[in-house]
């Protein structure tokens, strides 16, 4: 086989891989969209008292057996974000994603949106863009203050 033959085979294989990834991505977005619509339809706003929060495997957390059996295998091996909270008279273990996990304070009452056992959002939680903008603004303000102090020192 010549170099040209190897090049053609490589291009065909790369094309097949790219096509497969395209359709896999399309399928994943459809699945994510259906799950998001179900979450939006099921979410309720309520107040909870956060007792504890931790990142751990679902096998180490006190979750109902039915919930742990329904989880996909990949999530059983991953460390997920869990929040132990008092919802009304019950103490429950709830799941959430990383950005919500970081926004929830411990030992405080928090207003959240819950869909089943999943915390969707926290009332008053800022979006990632707002957090970035606030950090950028703070850095610019600190830089201006340092510049002002420098000019005062050189002026004296």
pLDDT digits (tens, 9 = 90+) for 49-101: 999 999 998 888 888 888 888 888 888 889 999 999 999 899 999 999 898 89
Strand residues in 63-149 grouped as ranges (E):
80-87, 90-96, 109-115, 118-122
pTM: 0.64
Beta bridge partners of 47: 111
pLDDT digits (tens, 9 = 90+) for 94-144: 999 898 898 888 998 999 999 988 999 888 766 667 778 888 888 999 999
């Amino acid at each position: 086989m010549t170099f040209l033959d190897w090049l053609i085979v490589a291009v065909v294989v790369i094309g097949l891989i790219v096509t497969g990834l395209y359709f896999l991505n399309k399928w994943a977005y459809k699945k994510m969209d259906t799950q998001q619509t179900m979450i939006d339809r099921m979410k309720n706003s309520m107040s909870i008292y956060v007792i504890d929060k931790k990142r751990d495997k679902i096998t180490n957390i006190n979750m109902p057996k039915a919930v742990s059996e329904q989880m996909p295998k990949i999530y059983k091996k991953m460390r997920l974000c869990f929040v132990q909270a008092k919802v009304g008279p019950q103490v429950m273990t709830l799941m959430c994603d990383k950005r919500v996990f970081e926004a929830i304070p411990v030992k405080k009452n928090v207003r959240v949106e819950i869909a089943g056992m999943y915390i969707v959002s926290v009332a008053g939680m800022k979006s990632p863009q707002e957090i970035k903008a606030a950090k950028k603004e703070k850095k610019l303000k600190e830089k201006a203050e340092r510049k002002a102090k420098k000019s005062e020192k050189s002026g004296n």
